[in-house]
Chains A and B, each alone.
Chain A
Amino acid sequence: MATEEHSEGLAFHPMDQFIVKPLFGGDTVGVLTVTNATLWMAISVLAIIALFVLGTRGRAVIPSRTQSVAELAYGFVHKMVEDVAGHDAVKFFPYIFTLFTFIVFSNFLGLLPKAFTPTSHIAVTAVMAVGVFLTVTIVGFVKHGVHFLGLFWVSSAPLPLRPVLALIEVISYFVRPVSHSIRLAGNMMAGHAVIKVFAAFAPLVLISGVGIAVTPLSILAITAIYALEILVAFIQAYVFTILTCVYLKDALHPAH
């Protein structure tokens, strides 16, 4: 009995929070099923509309608080696109800003207790990363034609080395969407899972004497990891966006 209660009390299900399940009953997740993932994506969309549309409806020269947050985000990403990808990349700004806002809102809303984090799923991040990859590749070929392949031909290297380097460059080019997507999903998943693991230790005080020491420690650890996760939530959105800008720069200015 005691052992069973022990296992009942310390239930380790750190990955349960990532399960995609239908919101209104049923077991199967079809393409159009409204799931918890759908719900939290919708909440992100609504939050984005609230901040960037409702928050700026005053169009004030002296902004309200919400408007200045929206302006801050706009300025932040706009400057990033301009500085990293160049001035002619500004026409991709709405596209990049869409990715940034979606990731940042999903990451932060996912930190709410009981929330679901769409960006912790490789399916979501892979779609975004592949989207960026295809965009960048198509833009590169449309703008520069075959010259875009010069990106892989390191003309500053000695001639015998160039084919080898070209092979490495091609491989690294195709690995981009993989690392781009796994970096974001992995970070989000790992942080949330670690919080859940520590959370599973927290009720130990109800079961065993060791809990007197373990419970406060685990609560402290949850707090610390949570603080770290707040940082990670922003940094990963930033990293995803700036990498998008870097790839875009390669497409617009492929000179090596």
Chain B
Amino acid sequence: MANTTQPAADAATEAAGHAAEAAGHAAESAGMPQLDFSTFPNQIFWLVVALIVIYLVLSRIALPRIGGVLADRQRTITGDIAAAEDLKAKAIAAEKAYNQALADARAEAARIVAETRAEIQKDLDAATAKADAEISAKAAESARHIEEIRAGAMEAVKAVANDTAAALVSALGGSADDKTVAAAVADRMKG
């Protein structure tokens, strides 16, 4: 009811000045401005205008744009994840290939080492055998040589002994033929 009397009260305040205006305000504040139906058409009109503007701006510009951005982002993230998976798979394959190559190289190296070792061993064996043969040949020849020298030396000793014995016999005044002397020397040398 305060609301219906309010325009009248307001008119009175215009005329009556300050004190009356304060009183009018007091009366106004007693009721709820929310229930002042005279302002409803105004509020409803501007609310509808505001809502229509917001709706048009959002539905025409803002929401499609934000939805697009979100979809783009989702796509980018999905794409990036797929690319990352791809790269990861590639990295794993590369590592596998690397390990394979490493193992192959290792086996090859081992094979070469074994081969080389066998070859060297063969050469070594051959060289050793050859050297052994040479050594034994040389040793045999040397032994023969020594034998020859020894025989030569015996002959020389026998000749010298014969000569010396003959000279000794003649010096002691005897005379001996060479045959007897040689037999005597040979007999002595045996003993």
Which residues does A use to contact B, with CB under 8 Å?
12-16, 18-20, 27-33, 35, 37-38, 41-42, 44-45, 48-49, 52-53, 56, 59-61, 63, 67, 70-71, 74-75, 93-95, 97-99, 101-102, 118, 120-124, 127-128, 185, 189
B137 → chain A closest CB, angstroms? 93
Chain B residue total in the interface (Cβ 8 A) = 44
- Assembled-state Cα–Cα distance A95/B102 (Å): 66
Bitwise interface map of B from 19 to 41 toward A, beta carbon under 8 Å scored 1, else 0: 00000010011011111101111
Closest residue on chain A to residue B77 by CB atoms: A61
Partner of A48, one of B7, B58, B59, B66: B58
Q: A18-B34, A19-B28, A123-B39 are in contact. Are A53 and B61 (CB under 8 A)?
A: yes
Closest residue on chain B to residue A30 by CB atoms: B42
- Assembled-state Cα–Cα distance A79/B154 (Å): 129
Decide: A45 and B53 in contact? CB cutoff 8 A.
yes
Partner of B55, one of A13, A95, A118: A95
Closest residue on chain A to residue B60 by CB atoms: A94
CB of B94 within 8 Å of the partner chain: no
- Assembled-state Cα–Cα distance A98/B53 (Å): 9
CB of B103 within 8 Å of the partner chain: no
Closest residue on chain B to residue A33 by CB atoms: B42
User: Which of B39, B70, B73 has the most chain A CB within a 10 Å cutoff?
Assistant: B39
Chain B residues numbered 123-153 whose CB sits less than 8 Å from any CB in chain A: none
